[in-house]
Structure 1
Amino acid sequence: MTNDRSAALAALLLRLSLGVMFLAHGLYMKIMTFGLTGTMGFFGSLGYPPVLGAVVAIAETLAGIALVLGIWTRAVSLLAVPILIGATLQHAGNGWVFSNAGGGWEFPVFWIAALAVQALLGDGAYAVKLKRLIGYPAATRAA
């Protein structure tokens, strides 16, 4: 049986998983392993403007941080979808299975579905609430 508590924990687990995956792809792989220069060169070799490699690496890193913390979860999840659509299109010619040479399209498509689920679920448990952090006043009632 699903209840509010288990749904909030499920959203947390999904949010943390997606966030760590984005950090692994953006920060660790693209920035720390290949570097921005290497990532830009790779994107250029695919026919994209090289600067798009830096934009994607930074966007994935920021999305990962935001998701792990639970900041703007719905918006971040939806804004990250175009990155995965681009990855899907890039891998589409390699077949379905991601273990194929060049990687297939199964992983980015699943990632899109997971981001859509996260956008529908929202923050879940233990999310940073920016309204509290930046001092928004509590809602007031009309007298």
Structure 2
Amino acid sequence: MQTSKLWVFTVVRILVGIIFLYHGVAKFQMGLDNVAHFFNSMGLPSVLAYVVAVCELVGGIALIVGLGTRYVAIVFVLIMLGAIVKVKLQNGLMGDGKNPGFELELALALTSLYLAAENYKQFAVDRFFGKAVS
């Protein structure tokens, strides 16, 4: 495996982890009850807000250190697809002039899909739990 590909994958993994970590922290700072009310207003179960917040917080940390990258990335793909379909799709890709579109969620879903598909372990904690992909 080319070292440059490994470094690019590692940088992408860490930066996506930071983005999700910040989103999880933001949900906790807003108050999970407020986030739960928002989810409920969208027709989603309130408990899902708690699940998403914890997944973003813990999953973000996991991506940063490279622990369970493939599995965390798959969860993030599902979360982003849910956000697109349930919240943002009606606004279009770039938004409707009043509300943001789903371009960020789509980019995060596709980046997470890349992390799940490639899953290089050389520069990650995962390398201690199995054979590294070469």
Q: Same fold (TM over 0.5)?
A: yes
Name the structure 2 match of 1:94: 91
Preserved contact between residue 12 and residue 126 of structure 1 (Cα < 8 Å): yes
CA distance in 1, matches of 2:16, 2:59: 9
Structure possessing the higher radius of gyration over alpha carbons: 1
- How many pairs were matched up? 129
Q: TM-score, normalised by structure 2?
A: 0.86
Relative to 1, partners in 2 of residues 1:12 and 1:98: Cα closer, same or farther, differing over 3 Å? farther
- The alpha-carbon deviation at position 120 of structure 1 amounts to 2.1
Relative to 1, partners in 2 of residues 1:73 and 1:97: Cα closer, same or farther, differing over 3 Å? same
- The alpha-carbon deviation at position 99 of structure 1 amounts to 8.2
Name the structure 2 match of 1:52: 48
Q: TM-score, normalised by structure 1?
A: 0.81
Deviates more, 1:86-95 or 1:123-132: 123-132
| Runs of 4+ displaced beyond 3 Å | 129-132
Structure 1 residues without counterparts, runs of 5 or longer: 137-143
For the aligned residues, what is the CA RMSD? 2.0
Name the structure 2 match of 1:139: none
Percent identity, aligned pairs only? 31
- Name the structure where helix makes up a greater proportion of residues: 2
CA distance in 2, matches of 1:23, 1:129: 19
Structure 2 residues without counterparts, runs of 5 or longer: none
